[in-house]
Amino acid sequence: MKSGSNLEKILESGQFAVTAECGPPKGTSAMVVQRKGELLKFCCDALNVTDNQTAIVRMSSFSGCVLLKALGVEPVLQMVVRDRNRLALQGDLLGAAALGIHNVLCLSGDHQRFGNHPTAKGVYDIDSIQFIRTVKDMRDEHKFINGEAFSGDAPFYIGAAANPFADPFEFRVTRLAKKVKAGADFIQTQGIFDVAKFAEWMKGVRDRGLHEKTHILAGLIPIKSVGMARYMANNVSGLSVPKQIVDRMADTKDPKEEGVKICLETIEEIMDIEGVHGIHIMAVAWEDIVPRIVEEAGLMPRPVV
Amino acid sequence: MITVEQKELEKILEMTKGRGRLLVLGCETCAAMSLAGGKKQAEELAVAIRVGRKQSKEEGEVVADAIARQCEPEFVALIEKEVASFDTVLSLACGAGVQLIAERFPDKVVIPGCNTSFLGVTEKLGVWSERCAGCGNCILDKTGGLCPIARCAKQLFNGPCGGSTNGKCEISKDVDCVWQLIIDRLTRLDRLEALEEIFPVKDWSPAGHGGPRRVVREDLEP
């Protein structure tokens, strides 16, 4: 075992994993995180705590993880390289290890221009792939980027993101290969609506044997309304929402129900694709729906490992 | 070249208000190529300031001149006598030029008339864009002659990020994704496999994070 985390045990034992996103509040209420943790703990193997998601300042991912751990929920610490340089990143990793946080998701982060501090200076001292390598070297070599040794263990299960829908499509598998080479143990993908395109990407992943070197968790975003579907189709870079999905959301009398149906259909199709080892549900501002989706997808109860 | 943009007239009038006899000093190299701070723009700006001063009934002569490069001491030396008769120099050079003028004329008020934008190229008349971040360790041999430090919004060494769409950067449809351009070019050169390698963490100290930079060529020192 690299980290001994629940997520690692499930994935390494060949079981299908379920993770979900737990966004911390734009405020100081621990209750918000605790409520989401209580809601999701029985239907997920680990919960990702987002890190100033969409470049909007929120309670830190780190503190969200600590709050979840106190509830007995396993967190995935999301870390973006947009906001911290190598000193801060490595220092936070030492702290995460000290506090028993064992899953880390290494991200670039949405550009600060999109958030609520668009005039901020972006850090980008190292990039997400270099960051994956950093965590791996800390875990396996007990060394910092500068080669200096530190004391103690840093048992992390290392995650990374992949977006099969961004351009250039042909390079997306190569980029995944670089992340795997850097040390990514698991991958959480961008939200999938275009299953055909995802399947094509997965074929490329299998052709390079990457599905045997890393665990791919397929990303899902339950849609609540036609407005949300349209917004994602037109305004979010690197997200592919086919017209038929938007149409289905527009034509239905019960958008929430239709959204759940679309999500369940997508899960069913995804589970048939060789090399997909789990799902990651990003129900932004709709966490309440996650238990139902996991239940109806036939993924309950979650394994105890 | 160093691309500069002239500050707004209102701002320039505010900065030069009450500053007495004013020399508007153009720089005939980069600032002139930027069509913002050459001799011609210095003359035009001097006229505008005169009008502004007249309207606000402010005293003080405004004269325009230019030198070839405000960043070279030998050219700055050419205007020593002229500057002596002014209270204030409004320099239209880049920040380097403004500072050398200030350094050479310690008793004069020196004001910047331009904002220094970037190291870039002229795309076409009226359009300039950034190309170089002056990071002190050129990697263009590895990236097909296209710089991800200057031209990727996240300065990714192992791009592109998940926001690249139809060749454009996630921050704006007007910004090319440089990683798309790098991939296209390396594909054309049949060198795409070069990107399979992971770019190591960068040493940012020659990029200015090691403190102010200085180049010393001992072979040239007298």
Q: Per residue in B8-42, is it b (16+ CB within 10 Å) or e — as a string?
A: eeeebbeebeebeebbbbbbbbbbbbbbbbbbebb
CB contact under 8 A, B198 and A181: yes
Nearest CA in chain A to B184: A168
pLDDT tens string B182-193: 999 999 999 999
- A167 lies within 8 A of chain B by CB: yes
Contact residues, chain B, for A82 at CB < 8 Å: 154
Q: Which two tokens stand for residue B156?
A: 């990714």
Place of tokens 């969200």: A64
If 0-12 CB within 10 Å is exposed, 13-18 middle and 19+ buried, where does residue A43 land?
Answer: buried
CB contact under 8 A, A110 and B163: yes
Mutate to test the interface with A, among B143, B165, B181 (most CBs of A within 10 A): B165
Q: Which residues contact B111 (CB under 8 A, 6 or more apart)?
A: B12, B15, B16, B19, B88, B89, B90, B91
- B175 lies within 8 A of chain A by CB: no
CB contact under 8 A, B202 and A134: no
Of the candidates A113, A125, A190, the beta carbon closest to that of B171 is on A113
CB contact under 8 A, A134 and B165: no
- B118 lies within 8 A of chain A by CB: no
pLDDT at residue A56, rounded to an integer: 97
Q: How far is B177 from chain A (nearest CA, A)?
A: 9
pLDDT by residue for chain B (222 residues), tens only, comes to: 999 999 999 999 999 999 999 999 999 999 999 999 999 999 999 999 999 999 999 999 999 999 999 999 999 999 999 999 999 999 999 999 999 999 999 999 999 999 999 999 999 999 999 999 999 999 999 999 999 999 999 999 999 999 999 999 999 999 999 999 999 999 999 999 999 999 999 999 999 999 999 999 999 988
Q: How far is B128 from chain A (nearest CA, A)?
A: 21
Task: Enter the pTM of the model.
Answer: 0.96
CA within 13 Å, CB half, B98: 18
Q: How far is Cα A96 from Cα A94, in angstroms, rounded to an integer?
A: 5
CB contact under 8 A, B204 and A125: yes
8-state DSSP, A50: P
CB contact under 8 A, B170 and A129: no
The structural domains of chain B, with segments of one domain joined by +, span 2-118, 133-207
CB contact under 8 A, A237 and B180: no
> Which of A97, A65, A90 lies closest to A78 in space, CA to CA?
A65
- A162 lies within 8 A of chain B by CB: yes
ipTM exceeding 0.85, yes/no: yes
- B193 lies within 8 A of chain A by CB: no
Question: How many CB atoms sit inside 10 A of residue B169's CB?
Answer: 25
Domains of chain A and CATH, by start: 6-223+259-296 (3.20.20.220)
pLDDT tens string A193-218: 999 999 999 999 999 999 999 999 99
- B171 lies within 8 A of chain A by CB: yes
CB contact under 8 A, A237 and B167: no
CB contact under 8 A, B196 and A126: no
Share of chain A above pLDDT 90, in %: 97
Contact residues, chain B, for A237 at CB < 8 Å: 162-165, 170
pLDDT at residue B221, rounded to an integer: 85
pLDDT tens string B124-149: 999 999 999 999 999 999 999 999 99
Of the candidates B153, B162, B201, the beta carbon closest to that of A126 is on B201
Fold topology of B2-118: Rossmann fold (3.40.50)
- B204 lies within 8 A of chain A by CB: yes
CB contact under 8 A, B165 and A175: no
Question: How many CB atoms sit inside 10 A of residue A91's CB?
Answer: 12
pLDDT tens string A242-253: 999 999 999 999
Residue segments in chain A with a per-residue pLDDT below the cut of 50? none
Query: Which amino acid is it at B192?
Result: L
pLDDT at residue A209, rounded to an integer: 98
- A134 lies within 8 A of chain B by CB: yes
- A175 lies within 8 A of chain B by CB: yes
- B221 lies within 8 A of chain A by CB: no
